[in-house]
Amino acid sequence: MKLGEQSYALENPPKIIAHYSVAGPVESKGMLGNFFDLKLDSDEWGEKSHELAECKMHHTAIMKALDMSGLEFKDVNAVMCGDLLNQIIASSYSAKDIEIPYLGFYGACSTFGEMLCVASLMISSGSFKNVTCSTSSHFSTAERQYRYPLELGTQPTPTSQWTVTGSGCSVLSSDGEGPEIFACTIGRVIDLGVKDANNMGAVMAPAACDTICTHLNDLNISPEFYDLIITGDLGKFGSKLLLELARERGFELKDVHSDCGSMIFNNQPQTIQGGSGAGCSSLVFNSYIIKQMKSGNLKKVLLVPTGALLSKTASMQGETIPGIAHAVSIGYRYN
Amino acid sequence: MKLGEQSYALENPPKIIAHYSVAGPVESKGMLGNFFDLKLDSDEWGEKSHELAECKMHHTAIMKALDMSGLEFKDVNAVMCGDLLNQIIASSYSAKDIEIPYLGFYGACSTFGEMLCVASLMISSGSFKNVTCSTSSHFSTAERQYRYPLELGTQPTPTSQWTVTGSGCSVLSSDGEGPEIFACTIGRVIDLGVKDANNMGAVMAPAACDTICTHLNDLNISPEFYDLIITGDLGKFGSKLLLELARERGFELKDVHSDCGSMIFNNQPQTIQGGSGAGCSSLVFNSYIIKQMKSGNLKKVLLVPTGALLSKTASMQGETIPGIAHAVSIGYRYN
């Protein structure tokens, strides 16, 4: 059922019946290291390129989550995948030997939120029964593609973020047990004119603010309805900006807001403002957050993956960078 | 309702209540020139880059189709967009000033089929009421990104295709009048080991064959059920290959099969095997096919956009190229 401008109440809330997380070496040494299902001690994971390593991480996350769900391939309506690589090859190559219909999504680092919205609506309405939702990113594939060869040793700027090496997968189902998705808000593209490709927090904070405020208005609730409102990868600077922007729209988020990008590392100096990447929110969600929900420490969470819709070509042509964010309400009634 | 392995019968078939097509200069001189809504006489369309020209085409297709639908922004649940550019910027930049929730898809040249499947299921099940589905591609942006600078004048190979410059948009609605989408089949990623990035027909034909045969089996119908089974952009060589592969699986398609890529040009020598690109099937569908349906010349059509999930990075690393195809059954009961 549509609520307000951009939100939906899910009458038959899909359950997250299984989840899996694969983390790179820097992430594994971060604050959430203990929560990851698989911790890699090398960026390459025995592959001949970083791109193949990302595919292997993404494929592993899907297959392990499917294993844990107990579902057979034939029972799964679709694998929904996304990543940051050009033509999302980490996704399509991961799905090559999985004999399940494939749907590819691109919403930059908001992709995990985008596919959770679509999958939830599909399951709640009865179109689908079981779906996997997965994203990945990799520091070295992202640096090569978006920035400079690693060998150059280029100095990051003070507003830089560190692309998360990792992948997370959730299996959503109409039946079974697990945290439930009871509402979602699909975001709009927001462009406030930022052109600095090294300041993604500033690009995404206005989009996060727009989606969160719209969500709260559409559902007619206050921020305290949630134990946690967690954005994808605003980083430390972007998180501050979000709080200020939300205040201007009448919402105080400081007591409930955290950011996946800000919490994933442990002040490791190279990570500067924190983590980013399409794998950031799915890795944190499919490890720390979902385990906190299952242990009863969190009851209601608003997950808001955020994305900067930039491309190297657009930045080189001097274009502004639009942002987007999607919000998913998750609750766990068994605690 | 799920039918067989990968297909769905749409119990409340969405209607295509409006559509718009924008074509580049080469396409406008092709066989279907008279059917396009807007014909450009230049690739740049007054913009300073080909990328901005593609954005303008994509944005125009969405806005004009929305105009013709009579819908207001607030009545549209989502704009679903996709294109071939890295990080699908033609899509996200087109949606910047359209105040409607945005969902970005990537399935290479199959994207239009992918989003029609998702949109149809969302509308049939009651989750959404109105959605736009649009894709675009542009010869010059694709050449720059996937191949060589145009200025080099590189000779194409005999199996090359010519990326279509154009964009098409369909507005799908639960109410109103227009051709109806009554079934769909979501494709799987198929990889038969082809590595030649200049022979996309050979990559996509196995995927098209798999999706078409699965569709016919799932719905328990023969190819003659349709007046036309039209693939996205196999080109001439890929079309031949499809017929042979389908014969091996027991289906004779020769009397009902056409290909958007093979019909869009008029044997213009530079186009070699025919058109390709994410805009190819949406341009041909939103002009020639839908107008033939409305005039009663076609009653039941199976549209099968096909995609080669390659990236320049993967090709340079020597990887194989997987393909995918999605199928959408469209009928018009008013004739």
Per-residue confidence (pLDDT) for residue B209, from 0 to 100: 98
Per-residue confidence (pLDDT) for residue B61, from 0 to 100: 98
Contact (CB, 8 A) for A228 and A258: yes
Would you call A314 and B103 a contact, using CB atoms and an 8 Å cutoff? no
Per-residue confidence (pLDDT) for residue B270, from 0 to 100: 86
Residue B127: pLDDT over 60: yes
Domain covering B180-331, topology: Peroxisomal Thiolase; Chain A, domain 1 (3.40.47)
Would you call B322 and A93 a contact, using CB atoms and an 8 Å cutoff? yes
Lowest mean pLDDT among A90-104, A136-150, B213-227: A136-150
Per-residue confidence (pLDDT) for residue B335, from 0 to 100: 46
Domain covering B12-173, topology: Peroxisomal Thiolase; Chain A, domain 1 (3.40.47)
d(CA A172, CA A80): 11
Minimum CA–CA partner of A102 in chain B: B188
Neighbouring residues of A253: CB distance < 8 A, sequence distance ≥ 6: A212, A223, A229, A242, A243, A246
Nearest 10 degrees: Cα torsion A115, A117, A118, A124: 130
Q: Where are the domains of chain B?
A: 12-173, 180-331
Query: Which of B52, B125, B145 minimises the CB distance to A126?
Result: B125
Would you call B319 and A93 a contact, using CB atoms and an 8 Å cutoff? yes
DSSP run (H or E) holding B78: strand B78-83
A173: left (phi over 0), alpha (psi -120 to 50) or beta: beta
Q: Is the dihedral of CA B187, B139, B88, A91 positive or negative?
A: positive
A317 contacts chain B (CB < 8 A): yes
pLDDT confidence bin for B257, thresholds 50/70/90: very high
pLDDT confidence bin for A21, thresholds 50/70/90: very high
pLDDT confidence bin for B334, thresholds 50/70/90: low
d(CA A2, CA B102): 16
pLDDT confidence bin for A334, thresholds 50/70/90: low
Would you call B93 and A314 a contact, using CB atoms and an 8 Å cutoff? yes
Q: Residue A137: what are its φ and ψ, rounded to 5°?
A: -155, 170
Beta bridge partners of B82: B135
Residue A85: pLDDT over 90: yes
d(CA A251, CA A226): 13
Query: Which of B52, B102, B108 minimises the CB distance to A87?
Result: B108
Distances (CA, A) of B82 to A320, B105, B106, B174, B332: 19, 5, 6, 22, 26
Task: Please give, rounded to a whole number of angstroms, the shortest distance from the CA of B25 to a CA of chain A.
Answer: 24
pLDDT confidence bin for A36, thresholds 50/70/90: very high
pLDDT confidence bin for B140, thresholds 50/70/90: very high
A195 contacts chain B (CB < 8 A): no
Helix then strand count (H, E) for chain B reads: 11, 17
Would you call B313 and A85 a contact, using CB atoms and an 8 Å cutoff? yes
Task: Please give, rounded to a whole number of angstroms, the shortest distance from the CA of A236 to a CA of chain B.
Answer: 25
Type of residue numbered B121: L
What residues 151-190 of chain B have any CB closer than 8 A to a CB of chain A? 186-189
Q: What percent of chain A has pLDDT over 90?
A: 88
Residue B99: pLDDT over 80: yes
Substitution target from A102, A120, A132 for chain B, most B beta carbons within 10 A = A102
Would you call B105 and A102 a contact, using CB atoms and an 8 Å cutoff? no
Local structure of residue A313 (DSSP, 8 states): H
d(CA B78, CA B101): 5
Lowest mean pLDDT among A134-143, A195-204, B14-23: A195-204
Beta bridge partners of A53: none
- Mean predicted lDDT score pLDDT of chain B: 95
Query: Which of A104, A125, A145 minimises the CB distance to B106?
Result: A104
Size of interface A-B (CB pairs under 8 A): 163
B103 contacts chain A (CB < 8 A): yes
User: Per residue in B105-121, pLDDT tens?
Assistant: 999 999 999 999 999 99
Length of chain A: 335
User: Per residue in A113-126, pLDDT tens?
Assistant: 999 999 999 999 99
Would you call A101 and B187 a contact, using CB atoms and an 8 Å cutoff? yes
Is this complex scored with an ipTM above 0.95?
yes
Domain covering A15-173, topology: Peroxisomal Thiolase; Chain A, domain 1 (3.40.47)
Say yes or no: do domains A15-173 and A180-331 share a fold.
yes
Per-residue confidence (pLDDT) for residue A248, from 0 to 100: 98
User: In the structure encoding, which two tokens stand for residue A126, read together?
Assistant: 């009865």
Distances (CA, A) of B295 to A324, B69, B207, B257, B334: 41, 19, 31, 20, 10
